[in-house]
Amino acid sequence: MVAQAGGEVAILIESDIVSARRAVRESASAIGFGLTDVTRIVTAASELARNVFKYGGSGVMRWKFLRDGIELAFVDEGPGIADIEMALTQGFTTGGGLGMGLPGAKRLMDEMVIESSPGLGTTVIVRKWKKV
Amino acid sequence: MINESISVIKVRDVLMVAMPGDPDDATVAALQEKTLLAMEQHEVRGLILDLSKVDTLDSYFARTVTETAAMVTLMGGDTIIAGMRPAVAITATQLGLDLGVTRTALSVDVALEMACFQPGQVGP
């Protein structure tokens, strides 16, 4: 395989969101996702990377190729999410945004796993599978 | 990180604002002010926002676009969003984005026609 099997992008400043998007676009395209799916994955990554920056302060995005898809992990050591179910509700926000980042990203991807402990940070893992 | 620039061009009675493909948040925020200042400066009647180069429209970007349209309305202008790509439109809708009552056009060409020839709207 020519493409790298994985990598990471540190999210420390706001423009790192763009770097995360570019890394995801490149890797998702490299393993053969079509333009619409690439756009879905990149847009989800943009929402989740912004959450890392906005709520977590800083963190990292890791991506890796799966057998038939891609996995992205967004890890921060911020205050954590008090109520994950609420956070997944469309329109709910604690940050003055539109409240569509997390639920929207979930709809754009095939799988989403959220692990969060108050005070210890948040990890959001999303996966997208290639349709055969 | 290189800040991609936003170009604002006056065509007849409208401003055409071309958004870069993959702007950072600061560039998106600059869109608002630059556009509103240009509106005042050129005394145009409306704004065409060209999204044809945009390949990621996330919630932050979309909110800024709708906010800008609302501000243009407050200033007495009209906004047309033009040239959204199919993949972006699909993604935006699934994400849950709502561009509100903002008018849209398939391309800048069509938007210019709407802006210039529709009585009671933007243009003569």
Enumerate the residues of chain B whose CB falls inside 8 A of the CB of residue A100.
59, 95-97
Asked if the structure places residue A40 within a domain, the reply is yes
Residue B113, chain A, CB below 8 Å: the answer is no
Rounded to whole angstroms, the Cα distance separating B70 from A69 reads 40
DSSP A69-93: EEEEEEEE-SS--S-HHHHTSTT--
Interchain pair B87, A19: CB under 8 A? no
Cβ–Cβ below 8 Å for B1 and A15: yes
Q: How far is CA A43 from CA A17, A20, A24, B8, B42, in A?
A: 11, 11, 10, 26, 35
Rg, Å, chain B Cα set: 13
Question: At residue B97, what are phi and psi to the nearest 5 degrees?
Answer: -70, 145
CATH of the domain at A26: 3.30.565.10
Helix (H, G, I), strand (E, B) or coil at A119: coil
User: What is the interface pTM, i.e. ipTM, of the complex?
Assistant: 0.87
Q: Which two tokens stand for residue B86?
A: 């199919």
Give A24-48 as a DSSP string.
HHHHHHHTT--HHHHHHHHHHHHHH
Minimal C-alpha gap between A131 and chain B (Å): 16
Q: Is the pTM of this model over 0.95?
A: no
Question: How many domains does chain A divide into?
Answer: 1
Q: Average of pLDDT values for B60-66?
A: 91
CB distance A31 to A71 below 8 Å: no
User: What is chain A's pLDDT, residue by residue, as a tens digit (132 residues)?
Assistant: 455 689 999 999 999 999 999 999 999 999 999 999 999 999 999 999 999 999 999 999 999 999 999 999 999 999 999 888 888 988 888 877 778 889 999 999 999 999 998 889 999 999 999 987
Per residue, the 3-state secondary structure of B11-71, as one string, reads ECCEEEEECCCCCCHHHHHHHHHHHHHHHHHHCCCEEEEECCCCCCCCHHHHHHHHHHHHH
Q: Is A106 on the interface with B (CB under 8 A)?
A: no
Say which CATH superfamily domain B7-115 falls into.
STAS domain (3.30.750.24)
The pLDDT of residue A4 is 64
A17 alpha-carbon distance from chain centroid: 10
Domain ranges of chain B: 7-115
Residue partners of B27: CB distance under 8 A and separation at least 6: B3, B4, B5, B6, B20
Cα separation, A59 vs A12, whole angstroms: 7
Alpha-carbon distances of B9 from A74, A85, B14, B19, B42, rounded to whole Å? 39, 46, 8, 12, 10
Nearest CA of chain A to the CA of B26: how many Å? 8
Chain A residues in contact with B26 (beta carbon < 8 A): 14-15
Residue numbers of A between 66 and 95 with CB closer than 8 Å to B: 90
CB proximity under 8 Å: A 39-68 to B: 39-40, 42-43, 46-47, 50
In a domain, A78, yes or no: yes
Residue in A18, A42, A43 closest to B24 by CB: A18
Residue A1 lies in a domain: no
Tokens at A46, concatenated:
């943009």
Asked if B55 reaches chain A (Cβ–Cβ under 8 Å), the answer is yes
